[in-house]
């Protein structure tokens, strides 16, 4: 209700100045070390609390996804911060590894195992089923291996085997897609697969050029809705038939993940996203649906207010920063600042409206750039 009331107030007056909102946008764009470290420390504090709680993972699919992604985004955000500020790498690389390892735990992927009728992703690497959801963890593990010389070798071997399975499945796919769940393939999740493969190559020296080139070609040929520039939210992995509309939330997150694998594909997706930026008085958001298509908010988009998606708006911060859309980043960050309600406490920064998940994903989005493929 607080967010709706605030948005309505802006819409009614029409002349609210953004001067008091988003004042840290330039600092985020310029990679301010103190600001970045304050949010990084908040994410680390959550991981400390999580260690102490030792809570079991959720079996509900969406709760399970959010738990895995919270650790994954923490790892990615910390890793990106380390790449931008190598003077902090020795201190923070073990924190990257800790968060990444949590995302890779067997109990953390229970929701995916249940979706596949009890088939565990790591116990079925020789099979044809995609299990693309585990790419989120695989990407985090790859970044940890890239940064942490003390990364556990036994987990590294498991990671090698998972990446080999993903590579084989992608090369066999006629659409450049692999399934996340039975009958469900998401271009966004497959972009995470491609990102995980690419980062594995950087961390180990393995040559994955063939599969990454094929994936990039298929994104452009099959997965992008040309009139809008959005990727389809959900598709058939074999035929490429769309099972959902082209949408902003999936495209914005796909642009982030694609950046790990192919800079040109990521840039193309980012340009598609910003074709659907809705602006007002210095604030902006990303529309969930392109002109000519309609739909409601769901677990992917979050609330959709006046056509603008909460998730798409937040995810778009990453490609805006990474690809130099400075004006768009500033406008999006003003909106994030307004609804995210950031506050400093004890030398740390947190966003009150998003909880641990919000802090983790904003850490990744607001530090995006250093992870881009060469």
What is the rounded average pLDDT of the residues 311-317?
97
pLDDT band at 55 (very low <50, low <70, confident <90, very high): low
pLDDT of residue 298: 82
pLDDT of residue 2: 41
Contacts of residue 87, defined as CB under 8 A and 6 or more positions apart, other chains included, come to none
How do residues 203-244 score in pLDDT, each as one tens digit? Answer: 999 999 999 999 999 999 999 999 999 999 999 999 999 999
Per DSSP bridges, beta strands 304-305 and 308-309 are antiparallel
Give which of 325, 327, 301 is closest to 315, Cα–Cα: 301
Q: How many residues does the chain have?
A: 374
* CA 108/CA 191 separation, integer angstroms: 21
Higher pLDDT, 119 or 17: 119
Strand residues in the chain grouped as ranges (E): 277-280, 283-287, 304-305, 308-309, 342-345, 348-351
How do residues 341-363 score in pLDDT, each as one tens digit? Answer: 999 999 999 999 889 999 999 99
DSSP summary character for residue 176: S
Q: Is the pLDDT of residue 262 over 50?
A: yes
DSSP class per residue in 294-359 = -----TTT--EETTEEHHHHHHTHHHHHHTT-HHHHHHHHHHHHHHH-EEEETTEEEETTTHHHHH
pLDDT band at 170 (very low <50, low <70, confident <90, very high): very high
How do residues 25-36 score in pLDDT, each as one tens digit? Answer: 999 999 999 999
Phi (first) and psi of residue 273, to 5 degrees: -60, -50
Ramachandran assignment for 362, one of left (phi > 0), alpha (psi -120 to 50 degrees), beta (any other): alpha
* CA 113/CA 108 separation, integer angstroms: 10
Per DSSP bridges, beta strands 342-345 and 348-351 are antiparallel
pLDDT band at 14 (very low <50, low <70, confident <90, very high): very low
pLDDT band at 292 (very low <50, low <70, confident <90, very high): confident
What is the rounded average pLDDT of the residues 66-80?
96
pLDDT of residue 16: 46
Q: Is the pLDDT of residue 63 over 80?
A: no
pLDDT of residue 66: 82
Helix (H/G/I), strand (E/B), else coil: 128: coil
Higher pLDDT, 7 or 369: 369
pLDDT band at 18 (very low <50, low <70, confident <90, very high): low
- Range ranked top by mean pLDDT from 55-69, 186-200, 278-292, 294-308: 186-200
What is the rounded average pLDDT of the residues 162-167?
98
Phi (first) and psi of residue 341, to 5 degrees: 55, 65
pLDDT band at 7 (very low <50, low <70, confident <90, very high): very low
Token look-up 């699919």 returns: 61
């Amino acid at each position: 209700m607080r967010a709706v009331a605030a948005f309505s107030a802006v819409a009614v007056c029409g002349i609210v100045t953004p001067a008091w909102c988003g004042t840290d946008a330039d600092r985020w764009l310029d990679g301010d070390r103190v600001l970045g470290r304050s949010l990084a420390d908040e994410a680390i504090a959550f991981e400390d609390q999580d260690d102490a709680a030792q809570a079991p993972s959720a079996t509900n699919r969406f709760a399970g996804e959010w738990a895995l992604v919270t650790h994954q985004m923490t790892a990615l955000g910390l890793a990106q911060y380390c790449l931008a500020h190598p003077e902090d790498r020795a201190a923070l690389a073990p924190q990257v590894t800790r968060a990444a390892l949590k995302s890779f735990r067997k109990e953390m992927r229970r929701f995916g195992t249940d979706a596949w009728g009890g088939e565990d992703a790591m116990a079925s690497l020789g099979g044809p089923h995609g299990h693309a959801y585990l790419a989120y963890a695989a990407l985090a593990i790859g970044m940890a291996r890239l940064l942490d010389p003390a990364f556990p070798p036994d987990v590294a071997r498991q990671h090698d085997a998972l990446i080999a399975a993903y590579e084989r499945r992608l090369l066999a796919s006629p659409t450049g897609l692999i399934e996340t769940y039975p009958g469900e393939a998401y271009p966004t999740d497959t972009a995470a697969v491609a990102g995980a493969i690419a980062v594995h190559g950087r961390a180990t020296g393995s040559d994955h050029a063939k599969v990454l080139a094929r994936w990039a070609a298929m994104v452009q040929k099959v997965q992008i809705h040309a009139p809008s520039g959005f990727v389809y939210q959900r598709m058939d992995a074999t035929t490429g038939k769309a099972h959902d509309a082209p949408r902003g939330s999936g495209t914005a997150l796909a642009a982030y993940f694609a950046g790990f694998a192919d800079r040109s594909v990521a840039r193309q997706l980012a340009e598609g996203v910003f074709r659907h930026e809705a602006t007002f008085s210095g604030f902006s958001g990303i529309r969930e649906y392109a002109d000519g298509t309609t739909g409601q908010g769901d677990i992917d988009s979050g609330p959709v207010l006046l056509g603008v998606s909460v998730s798409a708006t937040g995810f778009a911060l990453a490609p805006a920063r990474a690809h130099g859309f400075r004006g768009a980043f500033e406008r999006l960050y003003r909106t994030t600042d307004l609804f995210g309600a950031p506050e400093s406490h004890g030398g740390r920064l947190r966003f009150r409206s998003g909880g641990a998940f919000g802090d983790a994903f904003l850490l990744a989005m607001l530090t995006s750039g250093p992870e881009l493929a060469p």
